[in-house]
Structure formats: structure tokens, C-alpha cells
Amino acid sequence: MKFRFGLLLLLLFSLKASAVINIVPKPNSLIEGQGSFVFKQGMTIVAPLHSGAASLLENKLGHAAGIHLHPVINDAKAAIILSIDTSFVHAPEGYHMIVNAHHIIIKAATETGLYYGVQTLLQLLPPQIESNELVKATWKVPAVTIADAPAFSYRGIMLDVCRHFLPVDHIKKILDILAMYKINRFHWHLTDDQGWRIQIKRYPKLTQIGATRTDADGKTYSGYYTQDQIKEIVRYAAARHIEVIPEIEMPGHAMAALAAYPQYSCTGGPFKVRTTWGVEKNVYCAGNDSTYAFLSHILDEVCTLFPSPYIHIGGDECPKDRWKQCPKCQARMKEEGLKNEDELQSYFVKRMEKIVEKKGKKIIGWDEILEGGIAPSATIMSWRGEQGGIDAANAGHDVIMTPGSSLYLDHYQGSSLCESVKIGGLTTLQQVYAYHPIPKAISPAMAHHVLGLQGNLWSEYLYTPDEFDYQLFPRALAVAETGWTKLANKNVNDFIRRMDDQQIRLDEHHIDYYVPMPEGNLNYMEFTDSLRLPFTTNRPVRVLYSMDGSTPTAHSETYTAPILITKTTTLKLRSILPQGKMSAVRTIHLTKVKPLAAVSMKTPQTGLRMRYTLQGNYRNVAQLQTVKDWKDTVVTNVNDFFKLLPEEQAGGGAIFTGYILIAKDNIYKITCLADQLFIDNKLIINNDGRMKKNAPTDISLPLKAGYHVIKVILVNRTSGGVPSSWIDARPFVQPYEAIDNESLKAISTFYE
Ligand code: ACM
Ligand code: ZN
């Protein structure tokens, strides 16, 4: 009896659970009712004239369901009613919705509120409502009463189209998705050292010269938006209730502009559009009045293109090296009584603030504009943590929170051993979700100055448009919910549960979003007897694997417990989501070996022999082997090579030979970001031709106690925007048990 009763409960529970609500961002009040509303052909709809919200609903139903609604005027009995009602709903973006078996009624104070009401309604329909093709489904919505409004007025995403470019259609695709999740600001980072991406008619060279760079591999990289395309994007975003805020960077991050117009620099150039990432020392001259006129003319055109009340003028990462040497900048400091170059930057920003004010707009700047004194009306974007935002809000300035550790979407979202090269950091979906934009250190009376938050997608390491999508989604959904849903209504586990439904919606838009990978262990492992390999994923997903070298499919073994390895094996793993989408494949090379035996040394001396050349541009190890005029010397470590050339300069390469001393018989984890590492004449790590930044080539290796011969090959090349000199090319060796110990220690090297 008991068992049957339990079964009945379970049945009832699962019936109830069939109408699970998966809305993102989670509405601030939702009460489930009885029954459901079923959409039928020709149902009547009442909506304000030219309502974009009504068009959105009609388009989605038309495309995916083949259901066409019948518009009627002022019929209180219509099946679907969208109405503007300022007496009932007050929040400008808020809406109220009632769904029962007979009606759907959405009320809002504005068309934006109606639009968000319809986005919520679409999320109550099966996820295939986002399909562009007819789908067979029951198009019904569970009965609900929703009263909803956002927690924050600014819910933004920034896209950097300078380091890598996004075509117009791809931006539109992203805007479609952002609108689904009620993101209402698109911060468009349009100018930087590596590219100027907006047509300015008065200064055609900005795009003729500034929009193209020649990368280290000799390929040109270009792209910019014409003013017509800019207008098209602004219109497209506005139809989705997204305001576009342009960023024109100054006084730093200006190399692309200076390549075109070097007269506005301190030295006069000439310059090339920058081809490596990082921070450029050449910036706009702050002592030259014509610089301000040049920027004012640019902003004249920018202001007419973007209806936003804001212009973002950058202000971050402006090295003061050139200003310190520049007679004009130094004279300006004297004239204005400025104590240091930080105050000169503040002078620059305040002068631009006045120029922008005359054009009827307000400035936003990165938190560096606080240094040397903040411009009176500036809004601060706090990116170097929260302190800038805290200081600015407490001083009565508006603030947008975008701290790197939580909201930089260029960071890894899973283990770097399983992902393509990224800038660094680790910011999981849950970490983004955990962020709250009002730090305790902002006094309650000043908390209203926090307008909201923004996820920033910098694109140095996003080599294709698809990689933008991969980094952006699903983490942008966590930004959206954090911006919309009140803190008390947020729940990370429930948010993660709702991802299953939301990801199907992303599939319908052909978004290749991040899927958690099987993490743990190294990609190359040598062992003597056997291994037992545990894997995890950073949120619950099923993992499939094969041990015969084949690509795992939906029919492969499911991972349930650590995998026992007793012989040389190629292990392949991937994750699978409930709807069948699979992650990329992770391959782990497992090799059964005998430990490498030690050699003897008579008179070991600390250091390494280096055979090197500073001449020639080599892309890989084979090309370096063709060098005839090697030089020989002894160095203390591999990085000493870089001291022979100016900072960041590519060219030449070196072959280092010597020994390492291993303390005891053990399995060691070896890391090396040089091009190749040999131990006892065996190729152990091979980064030949690949970008030398992350270390998916780390290996575990059994070694006997004593001296082992090593050889390191270093090709001094720039790859993917990263010069070899940025990396630490030394070999690191540590006991494998210490694998989680992040403080890698470089091992001493010897020669004789
Ligand atoms: C920034 O990330 N430099 C604003
Ligand atoms: Zn200067």
C-alpha cells in the first residue's frame, strides 16, 4: 500500500513537473495556475498599433508553429491582449502577464515592457518556438500570473570587434539572443591599437589604413563598418530594445588611429597598426590642441550615428612613457599646473567630457579615469575589480560594474587543458551568476548609482566569429539574470537546471555555446604499471568515452567511475547534453613505459649551453634547423635568450642543451612552453607550430633519480598575436602528486 501511495505521489509530481518553468531571467513574481492556453490557427490578438512586441509573437508563431494570429481592434474578448497601461504597471521595463485557458493578457507601461512580456511568453512555449522552420509540437503555455520588472536598468554586453572583427550579420545574430534574455545595452568597442572599425567620413585614412593590420604570419586582417552598416545595427538593436553605446578609445589604445594620422601622437610616428595584443606605449599627444580637434570631429560623426545619451571614451591602460618625454605634453602640464602625468590624463578626459557635453552627450570611462581626478559628470565602468566602482558611487557618480574576475567573458570557462587558448583566468557560468553588482562597501544611500552590470568579451584570442559565441554563451544568460532578477530570487542550482531548456533555444539560433568538458588529468600521460583516471565536469552533464581511438558517440560508454588504464591507450572523452548536443572531443594519450634511466655527470656546473641566432624569421622547428651561422654561449636559463633582443621582437631562435637533476624515482609533471623539450633524447613536449600560451601539452613522466639530459628548442616567433618573449619558456618539473599546486618551480639546469 505504502509503495503504491508513493508511486501515486511520484506520478502526481511528474505530472506537475511536466509544466516546468524555465524562464531566464527568472521573473520576480510567478504564480502557477490551473490548466494551459493552447495556441490555435486564426486566434485573435489585440495590440497597440505597430507593436514590435506583437510582431515578435506573430513571427515566432508563424515560423515555428505555422500559426497565424488574427489582429483585431479593441476587442476585450480577444484571445491575446497586449496593452499599454500606465495606471497598472509603473516600471518602465516591467510587465504583467496573465495566462489562463482562454486568454493571454500582457500589460506594460511601455512598448519595451510589452516586448519583454512577449519574450517571457515565448519562453513558456516549447523551446522549438525559436526555430525558423515548422516544427510539430503542442503550442501551449501553462497558466501563470507574472508580475515582473528588472532589478537593474543597465544590463549590458560588450563586444570587442577590434582585435577580431564580427560581420554585421553575426552581430545581429548575437543581438537576437541578447534580446531574448532582456539584455538592454550593447557596448560596442570600435577602436583599439589593433584596428579602427568605424567609418569616419572626415578622416578616411582611419579605415583605409587603421582597419587593416599585417599579422606575424604575413596575412592581412581587416574589417570595418560603414556608417550605413552602423545605422543598420543601431536600428536592429533598437527594435530589440537594446541601446548601442559606442566606445572610441582615448588617450591610449589608439595605435590604429595613429598609424593613419601620426601627427596626433607625441613623436610623430610613423606607426603600424599593432599586431600583438597587450598595451601600446604610443598614445594620443595630450599637449597638442589639434589632437582634441581631431577627436571632436570624430565624435561629431559618432554622436549623429548613435542615439544613446552616452559616448564611451575608454581611458584605460594609457602608459605615460611618451608624455614624460614629450615637450608639448610637458608644456601643457606646466601651463595647467598639473603635478604629474595622471593629472594630465585627467585634464585630457575632462577636456573631452566638455566636448562631448556640447554635443549633448555624457561620457562613460574605464575606472582609470578616476586617477588624477574624475571628470564631474562621468559614469565609471569598474573593471579592475570593484574598487573603482565603489569609490565612484560613494562620490556620487553613476557606475557600471564589470569586474574582471566575475564578468570578463574572455576568460576560460573550464580547464585550460580542455579549451583552446584564451587570455587566462577562469570564470565559470556559476562564478558569473554568483556576482552581485552592489558591493557592501557602497553606502546604501549611494547604491542607486550602480546602474547595473556588463559582461565584457574582449577578442584577442577569439580567432573566428564562432569563438565569440562559444565564450558568450551560456555565460551571457548569467549576466542577464543577475541584472534582471532580484538577489533574493536568484538560485544557482535552479538556474543551472533551466540551462537544459535554454540551450535548445540557442541550438535553434545555431549558436555553438560552451559545453562543460570532462576535466582532470593531463592530455599526455606516461605510466609504468596502471592508472585510475577520475574525471569531473564543472556542472552536471553526462560524459561519454572510448578507449579504442574512436570518436565517442551517443552510444559510447557513459563515465560513472574512474577509468582503469593498464596498457597504452588513446582515451577519448566528450560530454553530451540532454538534447543530444555534444562537446568537443578530449583526447588523452596514455603510454606504458619504463622509467627513463639517469646518466652520470663528472663536473656539473649551473647553467645551460645555448646555441643561437638572432637573425631570420622562423615559424617552426624545421625552419630553425636550417640555420648555418650559430653562435654558442652559456646562460643561466632559457629566458636569457630574450634579453639579447629588444622587447617583443621576433626573430632567430635557440637550442639549449644540458641536464636536470631528479631527486628521487617518481612520476613527474613536466610543463614547457618552448617549441620542443627533449629528455634523454626523447621528444617529451611538442609545441611546434602551435600558439605558445596555455599548456595542453603538459605531460606526466616516470623518471629515475639522478641526472637526465635535456634539450630545449626555442623558435622566437609571434603566433596568434603572442610574441614568444611574453611566455616563460623554461621547463618546469614537479612531482605529479603536486599537480594541483599552482606555484610551478622551474628546475635548476646544469652543463659540463
Ligand atoms: C580593459 O579591460 N582594459 C578595460
Ligand atoms: Zn605629447
Q: Is the pLDDT of residue 634 over 60?
A: yes
Least confident of 14-18, 56-60, 512-516, 531-535: 14-18
At 89 the pLDDT is: 82
| Residue in the structure block whose three cell numbers are 506573430 | 58
At 3 the pLDDT is: 38
Among 458, 459, 460, 461, which residue has the most ligand 1 atoms within 8 Å of its CB, making it the best to mutate?
A: 458
At 355 the pLDDT is: 98
Q: Which CATH class is domain 3-148?
A: alpha beta
Q: Whose CA is nearest to atom 2 of ligand 1?
A: 383
Question: What is the bridge-based pairing of β-strands 379-382 and 399-401?
Answer: parallel
Rounded Cα gap, residues 375 and 725, in angstroms: 38
Residue 458 alpha carbon to ligand 1 centre in Å: 8
Nearest to residue 515, comparing CAs of 429, 587, 434?
429
Measured from the alpha carbon of residue 328, the closest ligand is: 2
Task: Please give the number of the atom of ligand 1 that sits closest to the Cα of 383.
Answer: 4
The per-residue DSSP string of 53-72 comes to: HHHHHHHHIIIII----EE-
The cell for 327 is: 615637450
Computed over every residue of the chain, the mean pLDDT equals 95
Q: Is the pLDDT of residue 51 over 80?
A: yes
Nearest to residue 518, comparing CAs of 456, 586, 565?
586
Q: Is the pLDDT of residue 14 over 80?
A: no
Backbone phi and psi for residue 16, each to the nearest 5 degrees, phi listed first: -60, -40
327-336 average pLDDT score: 98
DSSP annotation of 750 reads: E
Q: Is the pLDDT of residue 6 over 80?
A: no
Residue 403 alpha carbon to ligand 1 centre in Å: 10
| Residue in the structure block whose three cell numbers are 551571457 | 476
The cell for 471 is: 565564450
Q: Which CATH class is domain 154-508?
A: alpha beta
User: What residues contact 402, with CB distance under 8 A and at least 6 apart?
Assistant: 156, 158, 381, 382, 383, 408, 453, 454, 455, 456
Task: Please give the number of the atom of ligand 1 that sits closest to the Cα of 458.
Answer: 2
- Name 633's bridge partners: 610
664-683 average pLDDT score: 96
| Residue in the structure block whose three cell numbers are 639549449 | 656
The per-residue DSSP string of 175-198 comes to: HHHHHHTT--EEEEE-EETTEE-B
608-634 average pLDDT score: 97
| Residue in the structure block whose three cell numbers are 557592501 | 440
At 739 the pLDDT is: 59
pLDDT one-digit tens code per residue, 149-189 = 999 999 999 999 999 999 999 999 999 999 999 999 999 99
**Rg of the chain in Å (alpha carbons):** 29
Rounded Cα gap, residues 680 and 710, in angstroms: 6
Task: Please give the number of the atom of ligand 1 that sits closest to the Cα of 317.
Answer: 3
Give buried/exposed letters for 224-241 (b at 16+ CB in 10 A, else e): bbeeeebeebbebbeebb
Measured from the alpha carbon of residue 287, the closest ligand is: 2
Task: Please give the number of the atom of ligand 1 that sits closest to the Cα of 381.
Answer: 4
pLDDT one-digit tens code per residue, 372-383 = 899 899 999 999
- Name 381's bridge partners: 366, 400
Nearest to residue 236, comparing CAs of 201, 188, 196?
188
Among 250, 316, 405, which residue has the most ligand 1 atoms within 8 Å of its CB, making it the best to mutate?
A: 316
The cell for 227 is: 556608417
Residue 402 alpha carbon to ligand 1 centre in Å: 10
Q: Hey, which bits of 511-600 come out as E strands?
A: 524-527, 531-533, 542-546, 557-558, 563-565, 569-576, 586-592
Going by pLDDT thresholds of 50, 70 and 90, the confidence category of residue 746 is confident
Residue 330 alpha carbon to ligand 2 centre in Å: 8
Nearest to residue 287, comparing CAs of 240, 229, 347, 237?
347
User: What residues contact 77, with CB distance under 8 A and at least 6 apart?
Assistant: 44
The cell for 77 is: 474578448
Residue 367 alpha carbon to ligand 1 centre in Å: 9
| Residue in the structure block whose three cell numbers are 637550442 | 655
| Residue in the structure block whose three cell numbers are 560623426 | 301
- Are the CB atoms for 67 and 79 separated by under 8 Å? no
Q: Where are the domains of the chain?
A: 3-148, 154-508, 524-592, 605-751
Cβ-based neighbour number of residue 627 at 10 Å: 18
- Are the CB atoms for 523 and 587 separated by under 8 Å? yes
Residue 383 alpha carbon to ligand 1 centre in Å: 6
Among 383, 402, 405, 459, which residue has the most ligand 1 atoms within 8 Å of its CB, making it the best to mutate?
A: 383
- Are the CB atoms for 196 and 167 separated by under 8 Å? no
The cell for 600 is: 652520470
Question: At 238, which amino acid appears?
Answer: A
Helix spans in 610-680 (H)? 621-624
Task: Please give the number of the atom of ligand 1 that sits closest to the Cα of 314.
Answer: 4
Going by pLDDT thresholds of 50, 70 and 90, the confidence category of residue 740 is low
736-742 average pLDDT score: 67
57-72 average pLDDT score: 98
Q: Hey, which bits of 119-241 come out as E strands?
A: 140-148, 154-160, 185-189, 191-192, 195-196, 212-214, 220-222
Three-state secondary structure call for residue 332: helix
Rounded Cα gap, residues 235 and 282, in angstroms: 35
User: What residues contact 522, with CB distance under 8 A and at least 6 apart?
Assistant: 417, 588, 669, 698, 699, 700, 739
Residue 400 alpha carbon to ligand 1 centre in Å: 13
At 743 the pLDDT is: 63
| pTM above threshold 0.85 | yes
Task: Please give the number of the atom of ligand 1 that sits closest to the Cα of 404.
Answer: 2
- Name 46's bridge partners: 81
Task: Please give the number of the atom of ligand 1 that sits closest to the Cα of 366.
Answer: 4
Q: Is the pLDDT of residue 744 over 90?
A: no
Three-state secondary structure call for residue 636: coil
Rounded Cα gap, residues 116 and 166, in angstroms: 27
225-242 average pLDDT score: 98
Residues with CB under 6 A from ligand 1: 316-317, 366, 383
Measured from the alpha carbon of residue 388, the closest ligand is: 1
Nearest to residue 344, comparing CAs of 357, 361, 326, 362?
326
Residue 339 alpha carbon to ligand 2 centre in Å: 16
Measured from the alpha carbon of residue 162, the closest ligand is: 1
pLDDT one-digit tens code per residue, 430-478 = 999 999 999 999 999 999 999 999 999 999 999 999 999 999 999 999 9
Question: What is the bridge-based pairing of β-strands 30-38 and 140-148?
Answer: antiparallel
Residue 363 alpha carbon to ligand 2 centre in Å: 23
Q: Is the pLDDT of residue 107 over 90?
A: yes
Q: Whose CA is nearest to atom 3 of ligand 1?
A: 316
Apex 146 CA angle, 142 and 148, nearest 5: 140
| Residue in the structure block whose three cell numbers are 588523452 | 588
Measured from the alpha carbon of residue 456, the closest ligand is: 1
Q: In percent, how much of the chain has pLDDT > 70?
A: 97
Catalytic residues: 192, 253, 317
At 737 the pLDDT is: 82
Going by pLDDT thresholds of 50, 70 and 90, the confidence category of residue 4 is very low
605-751 is classed CATH 3.90.182.10:
yes
pLDDT one-digit tens code per residue, 698-707 = 999 999 999 9
- Are the CB atoms for 605 and 658 separated by under 8 Å? no
Residues in the chain: 752
Long-range contacts of 340-347 (CB under 8 A, 24+ apart): 340/372, 342/371, 342/372, 343/372, 343/373, 344/286, 344/320, 344/372, 345/251, 345/286, 345/315, 345/318, 345/320, 345/369, 345/371, 345/372, 346/371, 346/372, 346/373, 346/374, 346/375, 347/286, 347/372
pLDDT one-digit tens code per residue, 110-150 = 999 999 999 999 999 999 999 999 999 999 999 999 999 99
Nearest to residue 288, comparing CAs of 320, 261, 328, 260?
328
Question: At 400, which amino acid appears?
Answer: I
Among 317, 380, 459, which residue has the most ligand 1 atoms within 8 Å of its CB, making it the best to mutate?
A: 317
